[in-house]
Structure 1
Amino acid sequence: MIYLALLRGINVGGNNKIDMKLLKQSFERAGMNDVMTYINTGNIIFSYNGQSKIELSHRLEEVIRKEFGLQIRVLIRSIDEIKGIIKAIPDTWKNDKEMTGDVMFLWDEVDDIALLEKLVIKPSIDTVIYVPGAILWMVDKINITKSGKSKIIGTKLYKQVTIRNVNTTRKIYELMQLQKN
């Protein structure tokens, strides 16, 4: 099975620094196969047969704690789960000088459409879509300071998501497909 491990909050603002080459080696020592990292923000693609996603997540969190001395949450998603998220992202969404499109990957304990009711969504500014496993959020850059997206920072929910932009998410899925073939 092809999986994606999303590490929350590494190599951001000089905090929780982890070298991707060393992280790849740690995953390999932990029994993951065909390990590949993508950019510096904690995106690890690998194949593995065995434990449940929750057990795998805990195992990899423990590896990171032991080898890097960091308490980092690890979210595991299968290639099929990522495919479902990718299909839900409108083709016109991108992350560029005009718009910012993000995928807020959700931990299982908060993964519910009812979560939308807890968010500050400004209908004339924010376009927000729930899909199992993620919240998709797009805003034109000209309106970024007026968006409700930043209101999530510092909340209890903020600790239950890890965010990647839509360009990164699409590339991750492309790499997962290559590994599958």
Structure 2
Amino acid sequence: MKYVALLRGINVGGGRKVDMKILKSELEVKGYEDVSTYINSGNIFFESSKSHDVVRNDFEKLLKSEFGLDVPTLIKTRTQIEKIAKSIPSDWENDKEQKSDVAYLFEEIDNQDVVNQLPFKTEYMTVKYVKGALLWNVARDDVNKSQLSKIVGHKLYKYMTVRNVNTARYLAQNH
């Protein structure tokens, strides 16, 4: 099975450092195949015959033993990643005029109701639920009005890992 692992909250702002080259090497030692990484934010492509739950457990144990970090790890099949990316409207960009992100959801909160539980103001932004993710787009001038930053402190935030749409599209198209 072809998978993508999305590590939550690593190599951000100088903290929770994970050397992706070391991680790649350690995963190969553990028998994972065709391992590659994309940028430092914790995106790993690989193949394995192991089940989703075994893979997640392997990754989280390895991150703890090798780097001393508890890193929630979201495992998606490459097909799931592709379906999510295909749901991103083609005119959504992450540039100086608009902010567009994909919040990949852990299974615990993967349902449409999650949109109603988060504190952003949808009159200033577009939010779309698709199986496995929330997609959002907001004009840069409206980011503060949308209260998008308030989700960071919300209890559900720990069950998602966010990538901008450029990264989300890359994850779907390049492996």
**TM-score in terms of structure 2 length:** 0.96
Residue 10 (structure 2) pairs with residue 10 (structure 1): yes
- Provide the rounded CA distance (Å) in 2 between the counterparts of 1:154 and 1:124: 21
- Provide the rounded CA distance (Å) in 1 between the counterparts of 2:118 and 2:83: 22
- Provide the rounded CA distance (Å) in 2 between the counterparts of 1:30 and 1:161: 26
Deviations along 1:102-127, whole A, 9 cap, x unmatched? 00000001100011111234233110
Q: Secondary structure at the match of 1:113?
A: coil
Q: Secondary structure at the match of 2:122?
A: coil
163-172 or 120-129: bigger deviation: 120-129
Residue 163 (structure 2) pairs with residue 161 (structure 1): no
Report percent identity of matched pairs.
46
Please say if residues 120 and 151 of structure 2, whose CA atoms lie closer than 8 Å, have aligned partners that are also in contact: no
Please say if residues 9 and 16 of structure 2, whose CA atoms lie closer than 8 Å, have aligned partners that are also in contact: yes
CA RMSD of superposed structures (Å): 1.0
Residue 129 (structure 2) pairs with residue 126 (structure 1): no
Unaligned 5+ residue runs, structure 1? 177-181
Matches within 5 A, 1:26-41: 26-41=26-41
State the 1:139 CA deviation.
0.4
Please say if residues 101 and 164 of structure 2, whose CA atoms lie closer than 8 Å, have aligned partners that are also in contact: yes
Unaligned 5+ residue runs, structure 2? none
- Provide the rounded CA distance (Å) in 2 between the counterparts of 1:138 and 1:30: 39
- Provide the rounded CA distance (Å) in 1 between the counterparts of 2:119 and 2:67: 36
State the 1:64 CA deviation.
0.9
- Provide the rounded CA distance (Å) in 1 between the counterparts of 2:123 and 2:110: 25
Aligned position for 1:179: none
Aligned position for 1:55: 54
Q: Post-superposition, which runs of at least 4 consecutive aligned residues in structure 1 deviate over 6 A?
A: none
Aligned position for 1:42: 42
Please say if residues 121 and 128 of structure 1, whose CA atoms lie closer than 8 Å, have aligned partners that are also in contact: no
**TM-score in terms of structure 1 length:** 0.93
